[in-house]
Structure formats: structure tokens, C-alpha cells
Structure 1
Amino acid sequence: MLYKLKKRGMVKGNRILISVTFLGSPGPIRFVANEGDLVAAVIDTALKCYAREGRLPILGSDFNDFIFYCPMVGPEALSPWEAVGSLGARNFVLCEKSEEKKKVEEENGRSSFPINGARKRRKRRFRAWINKSFSLKVTTH
């Protein structure tokens, strides 16, 4: 199928293998992305892959709660609106923002624009942890 898409010219841009390391997690997550994908979309994909694999600690799904940076480029966090392929790097680190930094961003009027319907799911984090720990189904009311 991919061959047919390439033949028709529908595949745009180069695809790259990205490795994202989560702080506190045993190893990196690797997936394929386009060079032109935004950092916000890459964070969202990484969080979905992390949740799908059932890794611990359980993280949220809102990309605004995380800092994404490349240790090879520098200590500055990457902007969610720049292309991931513009840096020329393939290894990244994703860590959760501190509560103080989140409050400062909210006061400055930064938008907590959700991508692909991502929302804060504090209650679901706890329920997922219970399900994972005890292999039980905890239902809501």
C-alpha cells in the first residue's frame, strides 16, 4: 500500500526515526515521523505510544504539560510550533513541567490548545494506575 502511495506521489517529505526518552522511564520510545511534523504532534504521538505500551509512571496526555528538548542541540526547550526535522537531530528527551512553570504560563495567557482532543485526565491517571497495579476494572458512576 505504501508503495502505491509513493507511486502516486502522495507521500510528502522525508520520514525519520525518532527516539524519545521519558524521564523516569526505563527506555526510549521509537517511532517514525515526517521531518515537517510539528513538535506538538511528535509529543502527542510519543505520549500515545507511551500509554499504549502501558509504561510506568503514568503520564497525562496533554502536550502542554511537557517540555521537549534535544540534549545535543542545547538545554533550551523546543517550541511546539517548529518542525522536528529542522534541528537535524533524532534523539529527544521529554519531561513533565513543574507546577510552578504551569502556573506562570497560565498567568502569561499562553493557550492550552489541545491537539487531537487531548485533555487533562487526572482521574483517568489514577484509575489506570489502579487497573495496572491490581489488574481490576474500576468503573465510574
Structure 2
Amino acid sequence: MLLYKQKKSQPSKGNRLLISITVLGSAGPIRFVVNEEELVATVIDTALKSYAREKRLPILGTDINNFVLYCPNAVAEALSPWETIGSLGVRNFMLCKKSQPEKAMDDAKSEISRKGTGSWKTWFNKSLNPKISSH
């Protein structure tokens, strides 16, 4: 009688996808293989690590909360971090930094307006002719 060991059933890995992520401001896309069941947040983390490992510019950082992933072909909104990467059936994505909240931008505008109401020509001339005061 011939005995054989049955293979242990391994959890299915699902389909694997080769995805391409273009980082806004970078020279070219990052390509890597992911499981279609992986969350968008995990894919963003992997993309940021790959980007840093390749020493690409501009330097982005590693905080996934500062970035959003877009699918340029399918929707105009950013993908939810809890969505699976294979749910849209596309393989090309765009990674962008989140925009600053409007409040922070309003604060920056008010800071600029407080610094002076002179024209840019006045500022430029002052920056070219630095005067050192003696008192």
C-alpha cells in the first residue's frame, strides 16, 4: 500500500498584481507586486519605503497619514485607506501629499500680510542692500 502525506492547505494568497505608482514630482513610477487584497494604507507604506530605499527626490518622509493614493483612470477622489487595492481593477496609481487644511493656509496668508504691505520690489531692493545698524 502506498502512503503519501497530504499537503497542508495553505491560505489562498489571492491574485497578485504588478502595480505602478507615480509620485507627484518624481522622475518615474515605482513598480512592485502586491496582493489584490492588501489595503491601500499598506500599499502607500510599501511605496514610501521603496521610494526611500531608491533614494529618490524629492524626499517624502514615511508617515502614511500625510499621503493619499489616487486612481487617475477611475475616480477623482482619493482612495480610502481601508479599501483593498484590487477593488477598482486598475494597476496605475498616483501618490500625492495631502493638502494643508484651509485653516493652516489662512494662518500663513495672515502671517505674510502682517509682515508688511510693501511691494515685492521694495522687499527685493531691501534684500539686496543690507544695512548693518551700529546701535
TM-score bracket relative to the smaller structure: 0.5 to 0.7
Deviation at 1:37, TM superposition (A): 0.1
How do 1:1-141 and structure 2 match up within 5 A? 9-100=10-101
User: What letter matches 1:73 in structure 2?
Assistant: A
Query: Any conservation in 2 of the 1:68–1:77 contact (CA below 8 Å)?
Result: yes
Deviation at 1:102, TM superposition (A): 9.4
Deviation at 1:26, TM superposition (A): 0.3
> For residues 54-113 of structure 1, what are the alpha-carbon distances to aligned partners after superposition, in whole Å with 9 as ceiling and x for unaligned?
00000011111011110010211000001000100000000101222696xxxxxxxxxx
User: What letter matches 1:52 in structure 2?
Assistant: R
Which structure has the larger Rg?
2
Deviation at 1:9, TM superposition (A): 3.0
Q: For 1:48 and 1:59, locate their aligned partners in 2 and report how far apart those are by CA, in whole Å.
A: 10
Partner secondary structure for residue 101 of structure 2? helix
Deviates more, 1:8-17 or 1:41-50: 8-17
Report the number of matched residues.
98
Q: For 1:17 and 1:11, locate their aligned partners in 2 and report how far apart those are by CA, in whole Å.
A: 18
Q: Give me the TM-score of the superposition, normalised by structure 1.
A: 0.64
Query: Any conservation in 2 of the 1:65–1:102 contact (CA below 8 Å)?
Result: no
Q: For 1:43 and 1:34, locate their aligned partners in 2 and report how far apart those are by CA, in whole Å.
A: 13
Q: Give the ranges of 4+ consecutive aligned residues of structure 1 lying more than 2 Å apart after TM superposition.
A: 7-11
Q: For 1:9 and 1:26, locate their aligned partners in 2 and report how far apart those are by CA, in whole Å.
A: 40
Partner secondary structure for residue 47 of structure 1? helix
Q: For 1:73 and 1:102, locate their aligned partners in 2 and report how far apart those are by CA, in whole Å.
A: 30
Q: Give me the TM-score of the superposition, normalised by structure 2.
A: 0.67
Deviation at 1:25, TM superposition (A): 0.1
Q: For 1:94 and 1:86, locate their aligned partners in 2 and report how far apart those are by CA, in whole Å.
A: 17
Partner secondary structure for residue 52 of structure 2? helix
- Unpaired segments of 5 or more residues in structure 1? 1-6, 104-141
Q: For 2:84 and 2:93, locate their aligned partners in 1 and report how far apart those are by CA, in whole Å.
A: 13
Partner secondary structure for residue 76 of structure 2? coil
Query: Any conservation in 2 of the 1:19–1:90 contact (CA below 8 Å)?
Result: yes
Partner secondary structure for residue 16 of structure 1? strand
Q: For 1:81 and 1:54, locate their aligned partners in 2 and report how far apart those are by CA, in whole Å.
A: 28
